[in-house]
């Protein structure tokens, strides 16, 4: 099951303060949430420390338009049950289609090759599904992960200006992939 970062923050606040519910108007909660949103990197870094460059992770965590999703093993929001996170961004929307870019998908080292990345992607597909328009999902893959995405149904594409500008890609060897969900 996928949870948004706001849900993670709220749940953590409830656990930390031994609360059943949270008043969204509470000044203490608003301040807590503001600090957590400003420090998204501290949440993400435990997932990325062994597989992504720190500068890239900091850069995508800093951008407020980028959203963090956490994939839980079950339907309970429990920090010990979050093996995979996805950072994505909506980059285009009109009445015919919406396009997302997955900037990062990473599974904790101890949970890799157990199907959690696959399940997280499948949940992401359901999360972004739109019954009224086509959904395109673009990502930049590492060579070692290319087969994983191709097996999920992604296809190779030649260009994506958003990713090229974000990552400063020029004509170097890159693997750009796209997945399409039809309404």
Residue ranges making up the domain that contains 14? 2-181
Do the strands 134-141 and 155-157 form a parallel or antiparallel pair, or are they unpaired? unpaired
For residue 42, what is the domain's CATH number? 3.40.630.30
Averaged over 32-51, what is the pLDDT? Answer: 92
Model confidence at 136: pLDDT above 50: yes
Taking the model in full, what pTM does it have? 0.91
Residue 159 confidence (pLDDT): 80
Q: How far is CA 61 from CA 10, 37, 38, 51, 174, in A?
A: 19, 9, 9, 16, 22
pLDDT (average), residues 57-70: 94
Number of domains in the chain: 1
Q: What is the distance between the alpha carbons of residues 43 and 159, in angstroms, rounded to a whole number?
A: 31
Band (45; pLDDT cuts 50, 70, 90): very high
Q: What is the mean pLDDT of residues 149-177?
A: 80
List Cα–Cα distances, 88 to 23, 107, 114, 119, in angstroms: 28, 15, 22, 16
Tell me the average pLDDT across 115-141.
95
Average per-residue pLDDT in the chain? Answer: 91
């Amino acid at each position: 099951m996928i949870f948004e970062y706001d849900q993670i923050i709220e749940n953590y606040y409830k656990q930390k303060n031994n609360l059943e519910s949270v008043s969204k108007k509470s000044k203490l909660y608003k301040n807590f949430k503001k600090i957590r949103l400003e420090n998204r990197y501290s949440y993400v870094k435990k997932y990325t420390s062994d597989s992504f460059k720190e500068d890239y992770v900091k850069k995508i965590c800093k951008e407020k338009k980028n959203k963090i999703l956490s994939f839980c093993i079950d339907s309970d929001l429990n920090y010990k049950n979050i093996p995979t996170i996805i950072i994505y961004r909506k980059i285009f929307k009109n009445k015919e289609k919406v396009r997302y870019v997955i900037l990062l998908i990473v599974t904790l080292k101890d949970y890799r090759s157990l199907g959690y990345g696959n399940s997280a992607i499948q949940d992401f597909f359901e999360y972004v599904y739109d019954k009224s328009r086509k959904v395109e999902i673009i990502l930049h893959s590492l060579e070692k992960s290319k087969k994983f995405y191709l097996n999920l149904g992604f296809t190779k594409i030649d260009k994506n200006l958003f990713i090229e500008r974000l990552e400063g890609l020029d004509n170097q060897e890159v693997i750009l992939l796209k997945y399409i969900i039809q309404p």
